[in-house]
Structure 1
Amino acid sequence: MKEPLKGRFSRHSSPLLVSRSYIVKMVKLLVALLLFIFASLTGVCPQRARERESKPGEMVVLSCPKRFKANLVWGHHTPQKTYFMSNMSPAELAQMGVLVHGRTFVILSAGMNHQGNYSCSERNASGMFWFTLTVNKEKSKEYDENNKYIKSCYIQESCKLNCPDVKVPSNIIRNGVTWNKDSESFAKNGYFKSVEKKDQGIYTCTRRFLYGGQTYNMTFTVELNVEPNEFEKYAEIVSPLNNQVLNVDLGKEVVIDCKAVTTGEDDLLWFSGSSSVEKNSSSPVFYNYTEEIINDERKLKASLVFKKVSEKDLSKDYTCKLDSLSQSSSLVTITLRVHKAQPSYISLAPSIVGIVVVMVVTAVIYVKLKMDIALFFRDTLGCYRRTPVDEKSYDAFLMCYESDTGLNTDDRKQLENVLEERFGYSLCLYDRDVLPGKATAEAVLDCVELSRTVVLVPTSPDPGLGSGLLSAIHEALVERQTRLILIKTDAVQVPTSGSTMETLEFLNDAGVCVTWRGTSSMSLSSSFWKQLRYYLPALQHTLTAKQDDKC
């Protein structure tokens, strides 16, 4: 509807359009005439009113310019009547839904009845400042375009949108800000950690205020423009570092790269002292030049080449120069020194790994074969553990205890014969070495006293010694700290009396256990004989000085 009024009318314009144009011109002339008459009568030239638009229900804040000092009068001018709010009581103002506080005039919730012209002026003064308020469901595009706030940020940088602040009376409390974009809630609260092009657009912020237990809102439009991040780029040498010392080997070829980044027509050169280094590859020292262009950025590289490093080369300083047209030239100076030999950790690593592997394998072998190793040293090399000189008469006391799954008489006899005749142990046997007529308990304790080790052998049938002797032996072993070996069988044990089982458990904890597996244990190479011999004390031999030195 506005476009025909703005444009020129052609010869083919309708009479209706011509009449409308004529009416508009006449209205403008009448307004100008009224303003002239008003100025002539009052001597005041009215200023153009500041336009304000608001949606129904939003809060509106009008602020009188600072040139109006004190005793301000606020007026609301309608075609029917002019209201001077400064003369109204708080109750009347509350009924109108407005609040007057000095140079600030607040409409808490704008409605159609609040449309019109508003003025502020000093009391008893002729000057006025005018506002025109329009209340529409949607703000006009022209108003939004003229009153939006613009924020510019750069791609991949942090960005904070600020909701415009409004000066309100102190009794109106600010209650937070919410953001929306394209009618959807914006959870980032106006903050972008790294803004992108897709974040560009129109944002609406809503300020909330509390007054009289009610919440009132004001909305503002903020336009975010996301622009390319164009830093001012400088030409610079990125490597090597200035005054860097490089290690080299005499007589070997060395290549030192000087790298630079620039956007202009710059050049990269090498100097030896005050003389420039040539690009001639036939010289002992020369340099090669290459460049690469990526996204309007030039990456330059000048490689200084020493065919064979000499003592003479070590005495000179070498300078890489970035010759720039847009800024002062950049210089980086380096020196060479003979490379000091350092331990090769790469070659040392396999040795360390090898040592660790050998140690682990050795430990595993020892754990698995420690009994065989110990018996080998005893039997083959004639090495024996030194045992303190004592008054013991026997190497071991073999005591039998009743067990339904124990050794029979033949197996027990074989056990005694092998230990004495095959391996040479001196054994104390109850039925052979105890004198007749002596009390059983006393005789058994005497055997324990005279023996270096006690070996408990399960037998069937009952040897007739009584289960009470086991408890006595346990006490004697603890008191005398005599070594104990408990022989068990792999057959399922039939439960015996509670006291006997409990005593056997104590004895098992106090000593070591060796398992008799029937026929498989009869072989002298079986694990039973290895374990039994390993736990038995070494035979008491008188070692000569020569043997002692060998072992």
Structure 2
Amino acid sequence: MLRNRSSCSKISMRLRVLRPDEVARGSDCEPPVAMAPTHLNIGLQEGRGLDCPDYQDAAKMADSEPTVTWQHLCDVYPFWSGDRQQRGSRLQVHIMQDSYQGLYYCTVRFMKRGRQLNFTRSINVTAVYSKSVNKLPTIFHPAEEQIYTVKQGTEVRLVCKGLFPHLDSARDIWWTVDGKTLDKQPEHQRFSSHNRHVKYDYGDRTEESELVIKDFQSEDLKREFNCSVKNERGFATRRAQLQEEVSLPSLELGCGLGVTLVLMLLLFVVYHVFWLELLLLYRSWFGTDERHTDDKEYDVYISYARNSEDEQFVLSTLRDVLENELGYSVCLFDRDSLPGGTITDETLSFVARSRRLLVVVSPGYASQGSQALLELKAGIDGMALGGHLRVILIQYKPVRRKGWVRELRRARVALALVRWQGDKSKDLTSRFWKRLRVELPVRRVSRDGGGKDVALMRMMSQNSANSQTGLITDTTKDPQKVLNAA
């Protein structure tokens, strides 16, 4: 009832009394509380006392001094740590720590007119940074040297973030345009801002303010956009630096990029399919003829298994194409060696006088005796020591890994391997001959003299074979006769 001399006003209220089992509780160890908790902030490493709410009212109506029991979460006083101590009805926190945060319950018991009464209140304690630290507000976005890139005719959003240290006072973050707040702008409908809370850290708050500029114009580049923060301890402001975005010709750039990607893909496909042809073409233009840089007599020395199917392949196919079609000088031990010589000395001499050693690998070669292995070992030693000879493996027939001789197993990683695939490899345009030509020395045979050169080499090879039986013709005495015969 409110009354004065002229009038009287009555207000009715409804009171509902709850039993203890009807009061909501969070868990089994939390006592029932009929009122909302009060809030209290305590600085880290600082001390403060907790007074039970409504204790003084109970003390006035009680017949004797009320008693107070304190509880933190599920722990009833006395607590394990000595940093908190109850003095009378007050709970004193000597040194505030992070683990001391949370709900504290105080239960007051007292006697009134011979009847024992009690009630429970709760206090939500929060740890905050000490008052001794700097409490000035700061702006950490935008940075001092940060530049916003904007584009005309679009909606531009400028974000400002400020840090407010813990204070029990008001705080504010806002934008100004040319020193005026947004509500005082002539075009205030183009400018708007939105504030939101970003982070909470022991009482320190990080808040964000976003300035939205609709339909950004070139005149806006000349305006001054400032973000400001303020609390009871101080004030800070920072200007947002704007820079117009340079527009790129997107259509032309996209077309150019697309054409570039298509060309790169096309070149990749061409190289993947025709890499052997491209490599042979490059060698024909820029390759060096090794005949001008060394004193070797033969281009190729062929090592193969004698008295086997490999010999027929070497004599009828491999030798014929290398000498008669590609113009290489080929050395075959059984054909070019002189009678009466030592096999070991002749073999080492032929291998040393050759630029390449072709090893025809097959099951027969892997099980061959000392002649083939001597040729292989001489080639590998010459390749490893002097570097003046290269060994090339031609796999005529598949050989199991266990069937490879020890010398081949050791040097297989560093040697080039060309596989013969039967009828598919007979054509001179097949991958076998192209791959083999890449490994062989560079040869340039002119159209005018190419036929005579090949005929000359063929005749010399035939005469070398006949020399073993004393059937050398008189034409070898005069090279001109050889050319005429060709």
Normalising by structure 2, report the TM-score: 0.46
When Rg is computed on C-alpha atoms for both structures, the one with the higher figure is 1
Q: Which has the higher contact order (CA 8 A, sep 6+)?
A: 2
The answer to which structure has the higher helix fraction is 2
